[in-house]
Amino acid sequence: MQNITKRQVVWAVVIVLIVLIPLTMEFTNEVQWNEAVAYGIILMAIGGAYETRQWLKTRNRMYRFAFGIGLLGAFLLGWVNGAVGIIGSEDNPANLLYGAVFAVGLIGSLVARFKPRGMARTLFAAAGIQFLVPAFALFVWPAQASWGDAGVIGVFVFNAIFAVLFAVSALLFLRAGSQLD
């Protein structure tokens, strides 16, 4: 019998839990299909986080730190935008524009093959897109966009915080790349 690795155990547990989710729906009316799909996605994300952790162990410390800062910025952006919205309330359609930041980050990372210099360019681009989203929203929806209590200036300042997180991550990726040379 072959040795079972930790990785196989993690994915086996994830798969078993995903299979069990619909079974719980048979015994209770509390779980809906949309919730079951969401739980499955969360479990897959946990498995993906484990894989990412294992992969990051092969990188140098600066790369791991840069990756963590970038991931923190993306997580906080998604959390804040989904919970309360950045441009006005969470119901404001202008907040959907922040999906461009995630798209640039994902596509850029894949194109760069997660190499430090390419990741730096990707995160600089994400920082630029982050800062351009409210400018675009102001240009496209000047009257309809509700800017909330923060107002236009407050939204730009808040966006600058996320842009700085992405820019710091990019600078750290540049440093990680120079350590490889």
Helix (H) or strand (E) holding 118: helix 116-140
Q: In the structure, what pLDDT confidence band is assigned to residue 124 with cuts at 50, 70 and 90?
A: very high
Q: How far is the CA of 6 from the CAs of 10, 13, 14, 44, 149, in angstroms?
A: 6, 11, 12, 16, 49
- If pLDDT is split at 50, 70 and 90, which confidence band does 146 have? low
Whether the predicted pLDDT of 143 surpasses 60:
no
Q: Which residue has the higher pLDDT, 148 or 135?
A: 135
CB neighbours of 20 closer than 8 A, spacing ≥ 6? none
Distance, in Å, from the CA atom of 109 to the CA atom of 122, rounded to the nearest integer, reads 6
CB atoms within 10 A of CB 51: 13
Confidence (pLDDT) at 180: 63
Q: For residue 148, what pLDDT is reported?
A: 66
- pLDDT for 149: 67
Q: What tokens does 153 get?
A: 């200036």
For residue 148, which of 99, 74, 80 has the smallest C-alpha distance?
A: 80
Structure tokens at 74: 């993306």
Specify whether the CB–CB gap between 116 and 109 falls below 8 A.
no
3-class DSSP assignment, residue 21: helix
Q: Between residues 36 and 158, which one has the greater pLDDT?
A: 158
